[in-house]
């Protein structure tokens, strides 16, 4: 029979996680600080725990998904002893350092610990395209791989519990960069009354075409050889001047694009004008 699972935290994401376990036929115990958020799940067959202690005691596998690590600690801090012999999977978004501290704390309680990053929105959970990143106890991942796969594709990154948070934040930064560029683009054409929906039809194939350059840029980064037959940083520096000036003349803020311009300018000032854009990632490394 299927492993009983506890889900702690029933916000938008935690609710989706609990629903997925329920649908997959797991005996699913739920707990949330505001108890009413469990009502809909209980109507669908979930078991309501009256306290966090009861929630932890109900299952060998405990999934936590709350606002932040402070909230997770507020909930679990006083019930740590009950975690002995169980597996804690923390899907709360946080920093690598917080994940490592949580792993250490869990080990002190005698619990197996996996930290996770959810690369999906709640509506994608248990569907195609949902990816969940895990790091921490290899034994926990092996034992509960089947249960975790209920939520989406599972990828294990290694024993350092901080890795999932590191990858998660890196992927988020790639996403925010793309969104930020999109927002500036919409604002820029919007100064001439172009509607976002109409312009998006041009942005999507453009970004897809540019995405195809990532593997080549990555090769250049890994080899640290940035000679280019695509476009030099110098030519991009000139392009940025036009982009910034045009934005100012059209009356929109340059706050999203100015930081990237600053980095391109620094690259040229440091003598990398003939290199390609792939040079920029390495320039973010702080000298030791
Ligand atoms: P919600 O705001 O919908 O839910 C927040 C949850 O945290 C609620 O269950 C809330 O309880 C609980 N909480 C907050 N503070 C405390 C506290 N001090 N003590 C106890 N419980 C507390 O957020 P989401 O569900 O969207 O996000 C949860 C986690 O999932 C976050 O770390 C988020 O980054 C991550 N995530 C979310 C994604 C998304 O698309 N939504 C995507 C990927 C990751 P209460 O109901 O009582 O307020």
CATH number at residue 12: 3.40.50.720
Residue 83 lies in a domain: yes
Residue at which a domain ends, from 108, 126, 159: 159
Check if the beta carbon of residue 96 is closer than 8 Å to that of residue 166: yes
Alpha carbon 182 to chain centroid, angstroms: 19
Q: Are residues 151 and 10 in the same domain?
A: yes
Residues of the chain with pLDDT under 70: 288
**Is the shortest distance between the CB of 86 and ligand 1 below 6 Å?**
no
**Is 112 in the same domain as 223?**
no
Q: Whose CA is nearest to atom 22 of ligand 1?
A: 71
Instruction: Specify the ligand 1 atom closest to the Cα of 14.
Output: 25
The reply to whether 214 and 84 lie within a common domain is no
Residue 155 main-chain phi, psi, to 5 deg: -125, 120
CA of 128 to the centre of ligand 1 (A): 23
Q: What's the confidence (pLDDT) of residue 91?
A: 98
Domain holding 208: CATH number?
Answer: 1.10.1040.10
Instruction: Please indicate whether residue 172, judged by its CB atom, sits closer than 6 Å to ligand 1.
Output: no
Of 32, 34, 66, 78, the residue with max ligand 1 atoms within 8 A of its CB, to mutate for a pocket test, comes to 66
Looking at the fold, whether 220 and 176 belong to one and the same domain comes out as yes
Looking at the CA of residue 119, tell me the nearest atom of ligand 1. Answer: 43
In a domain, 80, yes or no: yes
Structural domain count, the chain:
2
Q: What is the domain extent for residue 42?
A: 5-159
- Same structural domain for residues 129 and 18? yes
- CB of 33 closer than 6 angstroms to any ligand 1 atom: yes
Q: Are residues 41 and 155 in the same domain?
A: yes
Task: Count other C-beta atoms under 10 Å from residue 142's C-beta.
Answer: 9
* Residue 288 belongs to a domain: no
Same domain (yes/no): 15, 143:
yes
- Lookup: tokens for 27: 């005996």
Question: Residue 61 pairs with which residues in a beta bridge?
Answer: 5, 87
Confidence at residue 46, expressed as pLDDT on a 0 to 100 scale: 98
From the CA of 34, how far away is ligand 1's center (Å)? Answer: 12
Statement to judge: residues 138 and 218 lie in one domain: no
User: Which pLDDT does position 183 carry in this prediction?
Assistant: 98
195 and 113 part of one domain:
no
Evaluate: CB of 34 within 6 angstroms of ligand 1.
yes
* 175-181 own/partner pairs: CB under 8 Å, 24+ apart: 178/207, 180/256, 181/256, 181/257
Residue 249 lies in a domain: yes
The pLDDT score that the predictor gives to residue 1 is 77
One domain for residues 9 and 150: yes
Structural domain includes residue 216: yes
Do 239 and 174 sit in the same domain of this protein? yes
Q: How far is the CA of 44 from the centre of ligand 1 (A)?
A: 21
To test the ligand 1 pocket, which listed residue (19, 33, 131, 169) has its Cβ within 8 A of the most ligand atoms?
A: 33
Helix or strand (DSSP H, E) at 128: none
Residue 84 pLDDT: 98
- Domain end (from 128, 159, 190): 159
Domain co-membership, 97 together with 36: yes
Residue 169 CB less than 6 A away from ligand 1: no
The residue out of 132, 159, 186 marking a domain boundary is 159
Q: Among 7, 11, 19, 38, say which to mutate for ligand 1: greatest number of ligand atoms within 8 Å of CB.
A: 11
CB neighbours of residue 120 within 10 Å: 19
């Amino acid at each position: 029979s299927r492993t009983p699972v506890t889900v702690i935290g029933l916000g938008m994401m935690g609710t989706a996680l609990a629903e997925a376990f329920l649908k997959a036929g797991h005996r699913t115990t739920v707990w949330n600080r505001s108890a009413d958020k469990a009502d809909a799940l209980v109507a669908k067959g979930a078991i309501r725990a009256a306290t966090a202690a009861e929630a932890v005691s109900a299952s060998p596998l405990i999934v936590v998904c709350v606002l932040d690590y402070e909230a997770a600690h507020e909930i679990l801090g006083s019930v740590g002893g009950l975690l002995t012999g169980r597996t804690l999977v923390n899907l709360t978004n946080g920093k690598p350092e917080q994940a490592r501290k949580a792993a250490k704390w869990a080990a002190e309680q005698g619990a197996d610990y996996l930290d996770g990053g959810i690369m999906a929105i709640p509506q994608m959970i248990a569907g195609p395209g949902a990816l969940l990143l895990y790091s921490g106890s290899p034994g926990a991942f092996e034992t509960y791989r089947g249960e975790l796969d209920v939520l989406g594709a599972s990828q294990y990154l290694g024993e350092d519990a901080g890795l999932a948070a590191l990858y998660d934040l890196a992927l988020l930064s790639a996403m925010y960069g793309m969104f930020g560029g999109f927002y500036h683009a919409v604002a820029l054409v919007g100064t001439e009354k172009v509607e976002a929906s109409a312009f998006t039809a041009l942005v999507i194939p453009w970004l897809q075409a540019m995405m195809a350059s990532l593997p080549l840029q990555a090769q250049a980064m890994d080899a640290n050889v940035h000679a280019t037959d695509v476009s030099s940083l110098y030519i991009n520096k000139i392009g940025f001047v036009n982009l910034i000036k045009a934005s100012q003349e059209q009356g929109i803020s340059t706050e999203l694009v100015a930081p990237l311009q600053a980095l391109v300018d620094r690259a040229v000032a440091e003598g990398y004008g003939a290199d390609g854009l792939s040079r920029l990632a390495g320039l973010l490394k702080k000298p030791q």
